Amino acid sequence: MDIEEERLRESIKNSVMGLFRLKKQKDVFVKGSSRVQYAGAVFDDKESWAFINSFLDGWFGTGKKAELFENMLAEFIGMKHGMVTNSGSSANLLAISALKSKQFESKLNDGDEIIVCANSFPTTVNPLIQNNFKPVFVDCELGTYNPSIESIKEAISSKTKAIFIVHTLGNPNDMVALKEIAEDKKILLIEDACDALGSSFKGKRCGSFGIMSTYSFYPAHHITMGEGGAVLSNSLNMDRILRSLRDWGRACYCKHNEKKSNGACGRRFDFKFKNLPYGYDHKYVYSHIGYNLKPLEFQCAFGIEQFKKLPQFIEQRKRNFDIMQSFFKKYEDLFVLPKSIPDAEPCWFAYPLTIKEGSPFKRLDIIKYLEKNLIQTRLLFSGNVLRQPAYEGINHRVSGNLKNSDIVTERTFFIGIYPTINKERISYMQEVLTKFLEKHAKR
């Protein structure tokens, strides 16, 4: 980079910093006119400049920034390999698709059963259907919104090959018990940790117990790239399968900066495949029916700066959750409050509430009231996914009943606790909630 380019880049950087100083001055919460979002991207000039600076480098495909982010994430979670994707939904699709790879030693087949919670996000379930697996739905528990260990044990049949477990809203499952079940029954354990970056069980990060784990960096999540996701694994073979599926299905596993003309394998022009001429360039040999699910390099540059703030974000989410938990304790006659199991340390995505049977108001009453007062609410994703129009007639099995998932569908919602919700916003939320709840309280 020459002196003139450095000068121009520095000028752009200073402008970006100035813009964010101005934005910060204008970020004043005004009761009654400022919206309290349930979630959102929390970033400043550091992420913005990293994005722009990477863009100016002119390398758009995944490169050194992507590799650095992958390594940071894998090290934080405690897994050996990380691969970025363009979304958490794509991460789930790739993780489940990899189970059918001919190169996977425990390859699954059409019709194999995979256990999943009925109270789910659609793109946790969709890859099971898209890969012709048979989802086996289990119920959740109210408060944790995760399935019980007993319900998973009861769901296992001779056709069960995997458990795809979700840490709902960042609340950890009993991963030690689940890992023991998986090992005992010789079935696979995969973690959907899209909501759970920063959550732990028995001092070990969620996402480090299964053979793979998935993450989302959508703006609502703990950190963001704008859009983005990742799959982590402990197997080099699995990492190569995942990368092949993500990158059009190609067989080549050279990194972006591979310098050897004959490739990392040393055999780029020395392969012979059944129906291809000898020496067909390995970069254009396809070993999987794959996709193109890569993010952009400058998204990863943005993500690196976000990752540096993750400890602060985790602390702020936990603080906000504790404040709201303390507030709602006096309204336990009206709500099932969120709870975690022993040895779990959740970094909650949001604050969920289930209205108790017999409460003097309906979910629609309180969420319309909150939204009218500019406090965003959301339902707990799909609720019982089998009640959604898209899932009518799918090949599936239900183990036990889905009573609690139905209750979630009818009576559960959540509000935000993400880092931008500061003292002023929390105070306003509590003020608005108090007016509604005191009117309906049974005391």
Question: What are the catalytic residues?
Answer: 221
CB atoms within 10 A of CB 306: 23
Return d(Cα 310, Cα 69) in angstroms, integer: 13
Q: Contact 300/68 with Cβ under 8 angstroms?
A: yes
Return d(Cα 265, Cα 221) in angstroms, integer: 37
* DSSP strand pairing (134-138 vs 397-398): parallel
- The label of the residue with tokens 């310098």 reads 259
* Beta-sheet strands, E only, within 292-382: 335-336, 344-345, 351-355, 378-379
How distant, in Å, are the alpha carbons of 148, 202, 260 from that of 174?
A: 9, 9, 46
At 232, list the tokens. 């982590």
Query: Which amino acid is residue 35, in one-letter code?
Result: R
At 92, list the tokens. 């789930």
Nearest to 84 by CA among 229, 245, 251, 272: 229
Return d(Cα 189, Cα 178) in angstroms, integer: 8
**DSSP-assigned beta bridge partners for residue 134:** 113
Return d(Cα 197, Cα 199) in angstroms, integer: 6
Nearest to 420 by CA among 344, 316, 323, 319: 316
Nearest to 94 by CA among 217, 8, 214: 214
Chain-centroid distance, C-alpha 16: 29
Return d(Cα 275, Cα 266) in angstroms, integer: 21
- The label of the residue with tokens 């959604």 reads 388
DSSP conformation class of 36: B
At 135, list the tokens. 């989802």
Return d(Cα 217, Cα 382) in angstroms, integer: 20
CB atoms within 10 A of CB 122: 14
Angle 196-383-359 from CA coordinates, rounded to 5°: 105
- The label of the residue with tokens 């990194």 reads 255
**DSSP-assigned beta bridge partners for residue 384:** 119
